[in-house]
Amino acid sequence: MFKQMELLDLSIQTLHTNDKKQPVMLEVLQLFSYETPSHIRIVNMGFQRLQDSISGVEAQMLRMSGYQYRVQVNGEIFSPYSDGKQSLANYVDNLNSFGFFKALEITNTVEDAETRTLSFALTGII
């Protein structure tokens, strides 16, 4: 009887713990919301399930490690034009420092001399 009560108590604690955990996509949105400086604007963000975007052994390894989604982010940096790439590198390093992404990488940058902006694309695995 005592063993059953312990198991029931453990099950209830597990349920309460799971109720408090937020969906991973919401956590990513909050991270970007809190950590994006005012001179960086996120234009769009997309999530794609790993089984839809990666196949084979790599996908199985990532899913077994708890990773579920590929995140793609497009944005613009409005800062002194010469500092755009350095600002982007610092931003990505800061986001990676949280350990939330397997790897958040810069996949594309386009400098626009006329508007003095740097457009960028990031890709990561969560």
pLDDT at 17: 52
Q: b or e along 89-107 (b: 16 or more beta carbons within 10 Å of the residue's beta carbon)?
A: eebbeebeeeeebeebeee
Domain CATH number, residue 63? 3.30.70.2830
pLDDT at 53: 60
Domains in the chain, number: 1
pLDDT at 24: 85
Confirm whether 39 is domain-assigned.
Answer: yes
**Taking the mean position of all CA atoms in its chain, how far away is CA 89?**
16
Band the pLDDT of 10: cuts 50, 70, 90: low
Confirm whether 12 is domain-assigned.
Answer: no
pLDDT tens, position by position, 67-123: 888 899 999 998 765 688 999 999 999 999 998 898 899 999 999 988 889 999 999
